[in-house]
Structure 1
Amino acid sequence: MKDTYEIAVVPGDGIGPEVADAAVRVLRGAFGNDCPLRFCDHPAGAELYRQTGESFPQATFRACAQADAVLHGAAGIPGVVHPDGTEAGLDFTLRLRFELDLYANIRPIRLYPGIRSPLADVKAGEIDYIILRENSEGLYAARGAGAQLRGEMAVDTLVQTRKGVERIVRKAFELARASNGAPADGVRRVTCVDKANVLRSYAFFRSIFDEVAADYPDIEAEHGLIDAMAMYLVTRPGHYNVIVTENMFGDILSDLAAATIGGMGLAPSAEVGERQGLFQAAHGSAPDIAGKGIANPYGTVLSAASMLEWLAANHDDDRLARAASRIREAVSAAIEAGLISRDLGGDSGSALITQGLCERLR
């Protein structure tokens, strides 16, 4: 337990500064006058690149690496790219993932009371699972290392290591063990998603999954192919408890899953390693609505709650765990009471939602 936790806040681009500010206000509201968090803003992103030619200053990287946790708004502006064509701003999250070894990308998928799922007859409480995405290997590890020959051929390599797969799978079983199980039957289960029937790299992932599963006889283990999972998350979402998969597959599935609970605005994300953690909503920077006061802050607020939970576990600090629980309760109560942003079908603006959350916390 520490007296004060240093939180590096990187507002980023588009609506990033708005949702990051909302999350900081809610965090302060959860603690009142006795807040153990110290916030410090740092620049990074596409707008910074447009202004200075640098999207991720070394000083910001050092601050993030030294902080107890990093809270990020959003990154990227369409058309603002590096000379190689990759988006400026996205290098912020990618560099932190790989250089700080943030190997576990934890994406909770939960349907809240007051939100109507686009899936027919699915009600609140019937979708509640985690997609655990391996965050440091897979196909995305090839970024910047692939090859393009004469404009005629391009190659990227998918990387799987025994260490990388084993630790993400073990993390999945630990998350399942700490959970209440799948909504449909209460069974604690881990589903390995791959393409093992075609590609050796995924067969390797599956074989290590099976080895680790033997250490958790109390948790049900099962396999699913990525193409079938794209269907099953729509047709039987209540069956799932924890899903573990490779980097790119996890990226795709988590967006699909977010659609089933109302959209990306309710999709938090925690990217954690052994000592550092990055917390941000799964949505993009939405520059078309920036500054209009209609950005949805719930995803970033829920990510901030995940940040508190992670810090609480790492530092044995029950104050942070209680605050995280209260923030989640406030979000659920606010949504059920009708404080719903436009992207979710409501008409509440960012300020009204943030104020409502702070009042409930108070």
Structure 2
Amino acid sequence: MTAAPAADPYRIALLPGDGIGGEVTAQAVQVLEAVGGLTDLRFDFDEIPAGAAYYREHGRDWPEGSEERCASADAILLGAIGLPAQEGGHGSLLRSDGKMAGWSAIVGNRIKLDLYANVRPVKLYPGVRHYVSGSHKQVWDPENVDMVFIRENTEDLYAGSGGILAPGGVAQVATDTRIVTRASSERVIRLAFETAMAREGAPGDKTRRVTAVVKDNILYGCRLFVKVLEEVGAEYPQVEVETILVDAFTQWLVRRPEHYDVVVAPNMFGDIITELGSALQGGMGVSVGCNVGARHGMFEPIHGSAPKHAGKNRVNPLASILSAGQALLWLGTRRSDPELLRAAGAVEAAVCDVLAAGEPLTYDLVGTERAAPMTAVTSAVVDQLAEHLPARAAS
């Protein structure tokens, strides 16, 4: 009997970027290669040099044709973008047009590929301690932190409408114009409701709930956002709808995280509050960002490039590995591919196994005395994958 032809490989564009970006992206690739060895899935990786270091050397963010390579990929894995203007300095290296060096790979892709939603799952895994208290204590039952943040990803203060007035060459006035549109608000809000419908509700009361985080007592853009929320929410009677001022939300998120199911926000507020969300789940080392649109998806660990840690085999690879898992989940849902969905679940389960075991883990999770190398953590995840993706039967 002739074996069925192998399915075409999924093409994954890699944007390792700067600093530790290349190291953590390599760990994610290792896990995906292990997935391929345990399933019928195949992946082709297209690595594209991009970022501040590339700009410093070549005067551009990435090679010509990189936009098209990203657009033709089935999914994109991003490492980290950005370097200080000077070694040891605090300001970011900028392009001649004032944008951050490497802008094309991160913000440019969001705009060109219409990655209109930034989706951040915030989950405290068993065995992980949150970062709220200085003593790094475990306070909550891990099941109390399980929510999804969805933020608008292409407009608001990211629209790039603004500038600096510098009469006589001295900067005197700076403006940043916030842009909020009905169309962009509606699609992220609708995604929030669809996400809530696919979940089992908030941990505290199992209620499907969409919480909009705004400042509508002051800002016109937020008033439009809330109006659209109410209109779309009327189509989902199974989902509870609430709005909360962003300043109050920062308090309540810490005091009762179990209340929240799906949180939706305009761009800048969403950008800020998700950083607080990452503290609830154990820090940047396990925090994932998914930039998704109707046709394209780019997935990344939300930590920075951390150049001082580059090349030391010490940073946490789990956020990048979980990002690869989210790419499989998104792609599997879009392509109705059960093997991709099974693989996505296995990646998360393997990470959970390692976290629950408490070793090997990197310094950010267990401290420097017990810290394991980055590569040891990845190897442990790969070993656990086989428990969740049994070897294929011989044909």
For this structure pair, what is the TM-score category when the shorter chain's length is used for normalisation? over 0.9
**Offset of residue 31 of structure 1:** 2.8
**Offset of residue 248 of structure 1:** 0.8
- Where does residue 130 of structure 1 map in the other structure? 148
**Offset of residue 118 of structure 1:** 3.5
Matched, 1:52 2:58: yes
1:183-233 per-position Cα deviation (integer Å, ceiling 9, x unaligned): 111111000111000011111100100100000000111001111111111
Aligned mates of 1:84, 1:152 — CA distance in 2: 18
Which deviates more, 250-259 or 116-125? 116-125
SS in 2 for 1:71: strand
Alpha carbons 1:108, 1:268 under 8 Å: kept: yes
Alpha carbons 2:41, 2:339 under 8 Å: kept: no
Letter in 2 for 1:148: I
Aligned mates of 1:2, 1:124 — CA distance in 2: 39
Residue among 249, 271, 276 paired with 2:269 = 249
SS in 1 for 2:141: coil
- Where does residue 165 of structure 2 map in the other structure? 149
Residue 148 to residue 2, structure 1, CA distance change in 2 (3 Å): farther
Residue among 4, 7, 14 paired with 1:9 = 14
Aligned mates of 2:253, 2:99 — CA distance in 1: 30
Letter in 2 for 1:113: P
Matched, 1:282 2:302: yes
Matches within 5 A, 1:176-215: 176-215=196-235
Residue among 18, 42, 45 paired with 1:36 = 42
**Offset of residue 90 of structure 1:** 3.6
Letter in 1 for 2:374: S
Alpha carbons 2:15, 2:105 under 8 Å: kept: no
Report which of the two structures shows the higher radius of gyration computed on alpha carbons: 2
Aligned mates of 2:83, 2:104 — CA distance in 1: 13
SS in 2 for 1:196: coil
- Where does residue 112 of structure 2 map in the other structure? 99
**Offset of residue 84 of structure 1:** 4.4
Letter in 1 for 2:295: R
Alpha carbons 1:105, 1:270 under 8 Å: kept: yes
Aligned mates of 2:264, 2:225 — CA distance in 1: 10
**Offset of residue 284 of structure 1:** 0.5
Gaps in structure 1 of 5+ consecutive residues: none
SS in 2 for 1:140: strand
Aligned mates of 2:268, 2:365 — CA distance in 1: 26
- Where does residue 88 of structure 1 map in the other structure? 101
Residue among 375, 379, 393 paired with 1:355 = 379
**Offset of residue 60 of structure 1:** 1.5
SS in 1 for 2:144: coil
Alpha carbons 2:130, 2:283 under 8 Å: kept: no
Structure 1 vs Structure 2 CA RMSD: 1.4
Gaps in structure 2 of 5+ consecutive residues: 1-5, 86-92, 133-137, 387-395
Alpha carbons 2:18, 2:79 under 8 Å: kept: yes
Residue among 7, 16, 23 paired with 1:18 = 23
**Offset of residue 167 of structure 1:** 0.7
Letter in 2 for 1:312: G
Give the fraction of aligned pairs with identical amino acids, expressed as a percent.
43
1:224-250 per-position Cα deviation (integer Å, ceiling 9, x unaligned): 111111111111111100000011111
Residue among 67, 84, 107 paired with 1:61 = 67
Matches within 5 A, 1:311-350: 311-338=331-358, 339-346=360-367, 347-350=371-374
Counting matched residue pairs gives 360
Which deviates more, 242-251 or 344-353? 344-353
Q: TM-score, normalised by structure 1?
A: 0.96
Matched, 1:294 2:314: yes
Aligned mates of 2:30, 2:60 — CA distance in 1: 29
Q: TM-score, normalised by structure 2?
A: 0.88
Alpha carbons 1:127, 1:237 under 8 Å: kept: yes
Aligned mates of 2:253, 2:366 — CA distance in 1: 22
SS in 2 for 1:58: coil
- Where does residue 3 of structure 2 map in the other structure? none
Aligned mates of 2:336, 2:344 — CA distance in 1: 14
1:70-112 per-position Cα deviation (integer Å, ceiling 9, x unaligned): 1111111111222344421244210001111000110010101
Residue 124 to residue 139, structure 1, CA distance change in 2 (3 Å): same
**Offset of residue 345 of structure 1:** 2.6
- Where does residue 323 of structure 2 map in the other structure? 303
Alpha carbons 1:47, 1:77 under 8 Å: kept: yes
1:28-58 per-position Cα deviation (integer Å, ceiling 9, x unaligned): 1123164321111111001111111111333
Aligned mates of 1:77, 1:110 — CA distance in 2: 29
